[in-house]
Amino acid sequence: MKRTNIINGDEYHQIPVNEDFYEEEEESASSSSGHAMGGAASPSSSSSQSNNNFKQHELTKTLASQNRYDLRLFIRLIHIIKLLYSSPIIPGIMVLFLLGLAISQTYASSLTGKLLANVYTYLADGDTHSLLRSLLFGLFSLTLSALLDSTIKFTVGIIAWRWRKTLCLTIQNQYFDNNLFYRIMAFDTRIDNPDQRITSDIDNFTTLMANVLSQMITGPLVVGYYTFLTWRGMGWYAPAIIYGFFILGYIANKFIMSPLVSVSYLQDKLEGDFRYLHLRIRTFAESIALQSLTRDPTVSQTMVEEEQAKQQFDVLLENKKKQICWQYGLNTTSDLFTYLSPLVNYLIIAIPLFIGTKKTIPFADVSVFSYNCIMLASGFSQYINVTANISDLSSYIQRISTMLEVCNQVKQQKYEAQQKQENDIVSSTEVQKQVGELKVEPSTLEILLKEVSYFTPKGESLFKNISLLIERGSSLLIMGPSGSGKSSLIRIINGLWPFFYGKIIKPANEQMFFLSQQPYLIYGSLEEQILYPYTIASKRISKQQMRELFERFDLGYLLDRERDIIARGDLNDLTHNWLNALSPGEQQLISFLRLLYHKPVFALMDESTSSIPQSMEKRVYQACKDQGISTISVGHRHSLTQYHQKLLTLDKQHNWKLQNIDNSSNNNDNNKLIETDSNNNNNNQQSSLI
């Protein structure tokens, strides 16, 4: 965290912001297409994301220089391996098992070498009896090799499965801990497409890594064993030449690997961005289709989304082309060394003839020597293949490591901020003024804001010195023009945004409930919608209770619909599509039923009645009142004033005004407003009273 000046010349001149925010702003703009939320999905942020998606040419250079085949990559790999072996017994046993299989396979393959030598000799001698015996022996050794080979592949699959489980759960645990996913998506700019990292990147990484591990285990065994055999059969020069040949191959590959790692890393990111663009089209299919209907058919222009998809796909294809070219270079060097190795082998076998130490080499020796050389070369080829895999692997290592690192850092930042708050509060009342303190007091049944000044995540000041007390049984309406900061205040109160100074005291979390304009419906039955954020594993609602609840807002027909779905056995509809199958008004009413079921002391509602008619709005607020739920509402409708006792008005000039609403008149238009408190920016008057 660094502290950045955001307002000149007053006491709020510093606010903690993400250190990398400004430095990475340009990059983040392009890379943040995966940040679905962008501060509770602000429309402005999403449009800037899409515009910036196409600046990826410049981004290529930045990312290419950041992600290379170097020591940092190696350190990151070690860190991931430590995680994979955090509970080492089972994975350790599996690696030992793999080692045992690799030793057995090396031994079985050496039997095949002997078999070949014998078969050549018996064929030359015409010894059919011995030949038959050798063939039977071959049947045994080759079957054993085949079985060992498939068992190795099976073990590799299981190791990959276990690693995926460990890594995915580790990241997911952090990601869901304390709403970290929100902080990463809303305020942090370093992680593009976190969903892709958790789902496909981890899967690809663990599968590839397990294969590399198997090659790394079998490679040294084969190399060690056949080094010994070639040395014994032909002398020191034979393994030395093969070693030199493959070291040359490794160096050639290394030169191509480094740029390929960067290109592959970028490719994964671009694939994620492209997929995200299509995901947005899926999510907003109806709005996009409706907008496209309004276009003038005489103006020939492709759809904006199509145009964006094309542009993004162009960038992706261009990088893919680069990746294919570098891959071609890498494959060429790998294949050259693999294909040339038999020639090198025969050259090695023929060296005694060239230097005159031998006149002939017996046929059986040739077959044994060449088999041993080929096996030694194949041991090295495994390393060369590993280097080819490492380019893909490195890209996944970078993506998974950044995810782990950012999760840790964001978590740590929160922890440090908390620590700092505690220390500051104890050490100095002066500092206390400059640090936001969000205190959950389980014993309290009121929400208190004391001289709260708050900001956007970008550090823009919204309002200063707001003081408020909302007691149990009272209610507050927050009004003001769009973008003035109403929702932001709700985010500050519920703790999603830490960008404030002053003091907020609120009751325990279970006493507070939040309703947004776009309700969140989970995959699940209607009962599960109501129980959310609890599950049916912890609570159940009887059928009669459900009926009574739904009838409160005339929604009983939804229960009938669900019954029909169950009767049809169409479980798929039941489990996943309530969000698409309900109108926005129905969705908002369901979230109110959820609220009534949970009966918190306070309900924070952000335009949560915007899609329901005023007559129903009245019933909803009456139901809250009957249940003793105090409402803090954000809204634009004047009709809302009649359901609240206090009105906080915010304006674009950052002035705020707190008024009591006198609802004694029956006529809603005649509600009197009595000002109790305000902050006018022009005279910078500060609130004095709660």
Ligand X SMILES: Nc1ncnc2c1ncn2[C@@H]1O[C@H](COP(=O)(O)OP(=O)(O)OP(=O)(O)O)[C@@H](O)[C@H]1O
Binding footprint of ligand X on the chain (CB under 6 A) = 38-39, 42, 44-45, 186, 456-458, 480, 482-488
Q: Which is nearer to ligand X, 42 or 627 (CB)?
A: 42
| CA–CA separation, 275 and 82 (whole Å) | 31
Query: Least CB distance from residue 604 to ligand X, whole Å?
Result: 12
Query: Least CB distance from residue 283 to ligand X, whole Å?
Result: 19
Q: Which is nearer to ligand X, 25 or 422 (CB)?
A: 25
| CA–CA separation, 253 and 326 (whole Å) | 11
* Chain residue whose CB lies nearest ligand X: 39
Q: Which is nearer to ligand X, 411 or 458 (CB)?
A: 458
Beta bridge mates, 513: 603
Sheet of 672-679, strand order: 512-515, 602-606, 630-634, 476-479, 646-650, 656-662, 672-679
Q: Can you spell out the DSSP letters for 54-85?
A: T-HHHHHHHHHHHS-SSHHHHHHHHHHHHHHT
Residue among 402, 249, 271 at smallest CA distance from 334: 249
| CA–CA separation, 183 and 188 (whole Å) | 7
Q: Each residue of 659-683: b (16+ CB within 10 Å) or e?
A: bebeeeeeeeeebeeeeebebeeee
| CA–CA separation, 169 and 149 (whole Å) | 30
User: Is 659 strand, coil or helix?
Assistant: strand
Q: Which is nearer to ligand X, 262 or 649 (CB)?
A: 649
- Please provide residue 460's backbone torsions phi and psi, each rounded to the nearest 5 degrees: -80, 130
| CA–CA separation, 136 and 267 (whole Å) | 52
Q: Are 377 and 244 in contact (CB under 8 A)?
A: no
Query: Least CB distance from residue 616 to ligand X, whole Å?
Result: 21
Query: Least CB distance from residue 533 to ligand X, whole Å?
Result: 23
Q: Which is nearer to ligand X, 41 or 81 (CB)?
A: 41
Q: Which is nearer to ligand X, 38 or 239 (CB)?
A: 38
Query: Least CB distance from residue 459 to ligand X, whole Å?
Result: 9
Q: Can you spell out the DSSP letters for 306-358?
A: HHHHHHHHHHHHHHHHHHHHHHHHHHHHHHHHHHHHHHHHHHHHHHHHHHTS-
Q: Which is nearer to ligand X, 30 or 381 (CB)?
A: 30
Q: How far apart are the first and last CA of the chain?
A: 33
Cα 408 from chain centroid (whole Å): 13
Query: Least CB distance from residue 429 to ligand X, whole Å?
Result: 30
Q: Quick one: three-class SS letters along 241-255?
A: HHHHHHHHHHHHHHH
User: Is 576 strand, coil or helix?
Assistant: helix
Q: Which is nearer to ligand X, 272 or 480 (CB)?
A: 480
DSSP 117: H
Q: Can you spell out the DSSP letters for 158-202?
A: HHHHHHHHHHHHHHHHHHHGGGHHHHHHHH--S-S-HHHIIIIIH
Question: Could you tell me which residues come within 8 angstroms of residue 76 by beta carbon, excluding any fewer than 6 positions away?
Answer: 397, 398, 401
Query: Least CB distance from residue 188 to ligand X, whole Å?
Result: 11
Residue among 201, 176, 168 at smallest CA distance from 411: 176
Q: Which is nearer to ligand X, 272 or 457 (CB)?
A: 457
Query: Least CB distance from residue 45 to ligand X, whole Å?
Result: 6
Query: Least CB distance from residue 49 to ligand X, whole Å?
Result: 12
Query: Least CB distance from residue 33 to ligand X, whole Å?
Result: 15
Q: Which is nearer to ligand X, 327 or 484 (CB)?
A: 484
Strand 672-679, strand 656-662: pairing: antiparallel
Query: Least CB distance from residue 185 to ligand X, whole Å?
Result: 10
Q: Which is nearer to ligand X, 38 or 194 (CB)?
A: 38
Query: Least CB distance from residue 481 to ligand X, whole Å?
Result: 7
Q: Which is nearer to ligand X, 487 or 645 (CB)?
A: 487
Q: Which is nearer to ligand X, 42 or 575 (CB)?
A: 42
Query: Least CB distance from residue 632 to ligand X, whole Å?
Result: 13
Q: Are 258 and 69 in contact (CB under 8 A)?
A: yes
Q: Which is nearer to ligand X, 323 or 649 (CB)?
A: 649
Query: Least CB distance from residue 504 to ligand X, whole Å?
Result: 16
- Cα 299-305-306 angle, rounded to 5 deg: 75
Report residue 625 as tokens: 């009142």
